[in-house]
Structure 1
Amino acid sequence: MEDPSRVLIIREDTFLKGGVRNARRIEVFGYIEGEIEGEMLVVQPGGRCFGRVNVAQADVRGMLQGDVVVRQLISIRESGEVVGNVKYGKLAMEMGGQLSAEMRNIPPSISGDLDLSVGKGNVVRITLQDLSALDPDDSAENLTFTVSQVRNGFVVLANDPVSPVGTFTQADLEEGTVLFRHDGTDDPRASFAVVVADMSGATSGAAQTVNVAVR
């Protein structure tokens, strides 16, 4: 029977940054970034795995990019894509699967529950659980959020909490200095939209709305 303590499942709504060591099976439906070591890595369709990977076997149906060592068999399925410095013992590739040595810029994506709560006329800090950028090849200071469609309030920075801002960075979020200030209106809902861009200009796509419940 497989030891459940050594099985890691990254679900569709899960985003993990950091190291994974000595796992029997790592199954990725969501996003993982970091140093990954184990016996079996399975990247499911829609799953994304980035970093330094050292596993015995890999079954790739989603996206895998980085410095990849698969000591035995790597299987790249029809929907799978493997990019980077890849070393393997054996390779099996279905028609439609992709294997490339050329590292590519990964466009940033937005994570978080996109949901805040603020007292009427008050200020709330936007945490990394509320909003965050995911990008394995750009540093936090090079990931810039653009704010639009602000309703019943405005986004500010902690060093000037009365002046609305149109942009902020992932580094600002990590430092805890990005705030939402409610404007005091009676409407029980407020919101704003964001897009994040990396240093090369790649973006997260259509603006995503952050909803704010007003207490």
Structure 2
Amino acid sequence: MTDSKEAKGQRLGPLDEEELIAGGTRYFIKGLGFRPTYSFKDIAGGPGHGSRVLMLQLLFLVLFTVILVVVLVKGRLCRPCSWDWTLFQRNCYFFSNSKLNWSNSVTACQEMRAQLVVIKSVEEQNFLQLSSKNRGPTWMGLSDLKKEGVWHWLDGSHLWFRFTKYWLPGEPNNDGKEDCAEFRGDGWNDGKCEREKFWICKKPAASCSNI
């Protein structure tokens, strides 16, 4: 053995328990009981590593596609309002394209499981007034048919005093027995119930919280 080999052997003397394997380093130290079981090949991945990654990517893509389809389908199945209804503050509104008298307007809304509109807030009033302004006179669910001058909504509630400001100047005047309220221009008017006018139905919006 040459001097250089002897020197090398002396340098490696404490590591004579280390095993060197071509294609990777796999070693163990008997004195310490430490024996890693991996090699550089393990870290880089074996021959099938690329195919496994590809399979995982495909699986993720399929799962994502399925979730996206489910969300879109459920979103279409659960709509707060039907296609021909308008959503506003958790209620759905139907603005008619035909004209009926007040009584038939009430019936038409009931047939759609709704009610000739009963106004509950200033915001709702402003929305309905603006929506009906360019359509022409439009029935609402308010009348004094039971007692002249005492206005009631279809749900039995009295007309609140703060809503009386929406009557047009000089209205209601009961001119020729006008007992049903309508949207007209920028305010309310009392009209003859047998006249045919547009009408608005209202019902609660559907809940999709359980979807």
Give TM class, smaller chain. under 0.3
The structure showing larger relative contact order (alpha-carbon pairs under 8 Å, at least 6 residues apart) is 2
With the length of structure 1 as denominator, give the TM-score of the two structures: 0.22
TM-score (ref. length: structure 2): 0.22
In proportion to residue count, which structure has more helix? Answer: 2
Task: Specify which structure has the higher proportion of strand.
Answer: 1
